[in-house]
């Protein structure tokens, strides 16, 4: 990179930047510039932006820290020691889950061609995936069994005894296994309520 200086009738100068001209590796210079700038701002505005902290020396206080952190992105991350108060976030590395067990449950194979065709035709009519149609039918059978086959006051039996219907739905791949955990948790809560709280 070259720097050109032309002052009209004045002498012309040209300088090629060298790698040794770069002074940015020493970030203590940045610290010094921030502290100096904050001190000049204090004199100009009559407001305190810095304070002395044991073990750190002169640092930006709450007001000064907000100004510099907002106007120089990531400054509080790169040079946290020049701030009295710094905020940090925990880095989270997201992972890709393969859902191997769910992928092995191919409901079309387990239910056969005729039921697969029926679910597909019904799903096309209502703009639903065929597996969702099968899940809805299975949950309706579960709900009807729970409501009609047990007397009022026997909520635990109504919820727990038809669970094999849900296991068939999940075990054949119609519904995602994640839903099984939610419904089983609800069943466990009802069981606990019936066993400990209602019996008292």
What pLDDT digit, counting tens, does each position of 134-187 carry?
888 888 888 888 777 776 666 667 767 777 887 788 777 777 766 777 777 777
pLDDT at 156: 67
Q: Is 108 helix (H, G, I), strand (E, B) or coil?
A: helix
Q: So where are the chain's domains? A: 2-82, 102-194
**Which pLDDT value is given to residue 164?**
82
The pLDDT of residue 85 is 82
Which positions of the chain have pLDDT values less than 70? 1-12, 87-90, 92, 94, 96-105, 151-156, 159, 177-178, 194, 197-200
Are 191 and 160 in contact by the 8 Å Cβ rule? The answer is yes
Per-residue confidence (pLDDT) for residue 153, from 0 to 100 = 65
**142 is written with which tokens?**
């579960």
Q: Sort strands 12-16 and 50-53 into parallel, antiparallel or unpaired.
A: unpaired
pLDDT for position 2 = 58
């Amino acid at each position: 990179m070259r720097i050109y200086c032309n002052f009209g009738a004045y002498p012309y100068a040209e300088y090629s930047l060298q790698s040794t001209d770069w002074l940015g590796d020493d970030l203590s210079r940045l610290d010094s510039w921030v502290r100096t700038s904050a001190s000049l701002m204090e004199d100009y505005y009559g407001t305190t932006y810095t304070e002395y902290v044991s073990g750190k020396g002169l640092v930006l206080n709450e007001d000064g820290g907000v100004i510099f952190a907002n106007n120089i992105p990531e400054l509080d991350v790169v040079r946290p020691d020049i701030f009295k108060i710094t905020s940090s976030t925990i880095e989270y590395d997201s992972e890709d889950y393969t859902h191997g067990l769910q992928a092995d449950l191919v409901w079309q194979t387990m239910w056969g061609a005729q039921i697969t065709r029926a679910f597909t035709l019904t799903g096309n009519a209502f703009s639903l995936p065929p597996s969702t149609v099968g899940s809805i039918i299975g949950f309706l059978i579960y709900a009807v069994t729970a409501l009609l086959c047990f007397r009022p006051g026997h909520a635990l039996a109504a919820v727990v005894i038809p669970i094999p219907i849900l296991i068939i739905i999940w075990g054949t791949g119609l519904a995602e296994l994640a839903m099984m955990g939610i419904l089983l948790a609800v069943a466990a809560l009802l069981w606990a309520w019936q066993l400990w709280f209602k019996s008292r």
